[in-house]
Amino acid sequence: MEAYAIIRKKRDGERLSPEEISWFIDRYVAGEVADYQAAAWLMAAYLRGLDAGETLALTEALARSGEQVDLSGIRGVKVDKHSTGGVGDKTTLVLAPLLAAAGAKVAKMSGRGLGHTGGTIDKLEAIPGFRTAMEREEFVAQVNRTGVAVAAQTEKIVPADRKLYALRDVTATVDSIPLIAASVMAKKLACGADVIVLDVKTGSGAFMQDAAAAQELARLMVAIGKRAGRRVVALVTDMDQPLGYAVGNAIEVAEAIATLKGRGPLDLTELCLELGSRALCLGGLAVSLKTARARLEELLLGGQALGKFREWVAAQGGDPRVVDEPELLPQAPQKIPVLSPRAGYVVQINALAVGEAARALGAGRRRKEEGVDPAVGVLLVAKTGSRVEAGEPLAYILAREKGVAEAQELLAGAFTVAVNPPKTRPLVCAVVE
Ligand code: URA
C-alpha cells in the first residue's frame, strides 16, 4: 500500500477498505505518512465524504492508535458523557456529581476549550487547587471511592486524533460529519465506559449549526458506539444561544454550583435532568425516564448532588469551600455593562459571538499553547425571550485589560432586540437511540 494511492482513491470518490484506512492512520502516527499527505487525505474525505463503514474503520484505527483506558477495576456501571462543544456549556460540572449521587460511576476524560467553545478541564481548573492530571490507578481508585472523577485526556489517548485534529483545525476540515463522529467516538471508545451519553449541539454556537446535520452526526455516533458494544444515546440539543447565563471559566463553575443548589438557570437544569435520566435508564439504574428524573430532582433539591460535588472537588485537590463561598473563585477586576440600544424582546443571541467575546477576553485560547484567564468572561443578563428597556444591561463583560474593545464590539452585534417576542425553540430537538 502507499499513501499516494489511498489519497487518489478518496479524491476520486472511491470507497476505502478498512485495511487501507487502518494502514494510512498507523503510518501517519508512525511519521511515515507526511502531514501534507494527511492534509490532502482529510480534504478528500471532507469533500467526498466517508460512508458508515469507512467512518467505523477510521474510528477504530484512531482508537487503536494509543492507550486504551482499562476501567475494569471500577465496580458498577461506568458512565461517560460528551458534548460536541458549545458556549456556556457547564453541564458536566452538574451532571457528573448528580449521576454519582444517583449511584452511577462517572469516569470521564475531558478536553480543554476548542475554538469559541469552552472546555470542562479549563473550567475545573478555575477552582483553586483542582488537579486534572491523574494517573489511571488514582483515577480508578477515586471513582470507586467517590463515584466520580474527571481527568484531562492525556497525550497517550488517541494520539492519531490529536495529530489529525491539529491539521483539520488549519485546513478548514473540522466541520465534517464523519470526521467529527470518528474523532469523538474514538476518544469515547478508548476511554472504556459502558454507557455513553452524547449531547450533540445545534445552532449558532455549535460546530453543526444545522439541525438536520446534527441529527445525522448523532445517528452516526450512536451507530459507531453500538457496533463497538457500548450502550449509547444521543440528544440533539439547542445551542442557538449560550446555555445558562455564564460564559467563562470561574463564572461557569459558580453557575454550576448554583444549579446544584437548585437555583440554576432553567435551560441548564433541564438539560442536566434530560441527559441524566437517559444515562440512568441506559445504565439500568432506573426503570423509566419518569422515575429517573424524579430521583435526580430529589438529589438536587435534597443537597446530595451538591454534597457529591464538594467531595469530588476535595478528592481532586480543589478547595471545597468554593461551594459555600463562590467569591473564593478568581474574580475579574472590571465589570462593564453591554446596554440595550432599544426597548423590546431579545429575539436572538448569537452564541458564536458571545463565545468569541469570552475568548477575546482570555477565557479561551487563540493558540494551542496559550493559557486561559479563569476570572474573565461574559455574564448574560437577558436571554432569548427576555423583555428589555432601552439602556438596560443585556450582559456584563468581566475583564482584565485584554480584549475589552473587541468583546464590546462582538457583544454589541450579538443581541437582536425586536418589538415582538420570538418563537421558543425546544431545548431537546431529537433523541437518537
Ligand atoms: N470535538 C472533537 O473531539 N472532535 C471533533 O472533530 C469536533 C469536536
* pTM listed for this prediction: 0.94
Q: What is the distance between the alpha carbons of residues 45 and 275, in angstroms, rounded to a whole number?
A: 32
pLDDT given for residue 116 in this prediction: 79
pLDDT at 219: 97
Q: Does the annotation mark 116 as catalytic?
A: no
Q: Which three cell numbers stand for residue 5?
A: 494511492
The number of beta carbons lying within 10 Å of the beta carbon of residue 294 is: 14
Residues of the chain with CATH 3.90.1170.30: 330-418
- Which residue owns the Cα nearest ligand 1 atom 2? 184
CA nearest ligand 1 atom 5, residue: 180
Predicted ipTM beyond 0.85: yes
Give the largest CA-CA distance in the chain. Answer: 67
Ligand 1 mutation pick, 112, 174, 201, max ligand atoms within 8 A of CB:
174
**Centroid of ligand 1 to alpha carbon of 168 (angstroms):** 10
Q: In sequence order, which residues have a C-beta less than 8 Å from that of residue 369 and are 6 or more positions away? A: none
Indicate the pairing of strand 428-432 with strand 231-238: antiparallel
Is 187 a known active-site residue?
A: yes
Which residues partner with 377 through β-bridges? 248, 398
Q: For the domain covering 3-49, report its CATH number.
A: 1.20.970.10
Q: Is residue 168 flagged as an active site residue?
A: yes
Q: Please tell me the residue having the least CA distance from ligand 1 atom 6.
A: 180
Mutational test site, ligand 1, from 165, 187, 191, 221, max ligand atoms within 8 Å of CB = 165
82 catalytic per annotation:
yes
CATH topology of domain 78-323: Pyrimidine Nucleoside Phosphorylase; Chain A, domain 2 (3.40.1030)
Q: Where in the chain is the domain with CATH 1.20.970.10?
A: 3-49
- For the 330-418 domain, the top CATH level (class) is alpha beta
Q: Where in the chain is the domain with CATH 3.40.1030.10?
A: 78-323
For residue 183, the CA-to-ligand 1 centroid distance in Å is 6
d(CA 230, CA 189): 8
pLDDT of residue 5: 98
Atom of ligand 1 at shortest range from CA of 182:
6
User: Which residues in the chain come in under a pLDDT of 70?
Assistant: none
C-alpha span between 23 and 17 (Å, rounded):
10
Question: For residue 100, with 0-12 CB atoms within 10 Å meaning exposed, 13-18 middle and 19 or more buried, which class applies?
Answer: buried
Torsion angle of C-alpha atoms 271, 272, 278, 284, degrees rounded to 10:
-170
Q: Which atom of ligand 1 is nearest to the CA of 174?
A: 6
Q: Whose CA is nearest to atom 3 of ligand 1?
A: 184
161 catalytically annotated: yes
- Helix crossing, 177-190 with 211-227: angle to 10°? 40
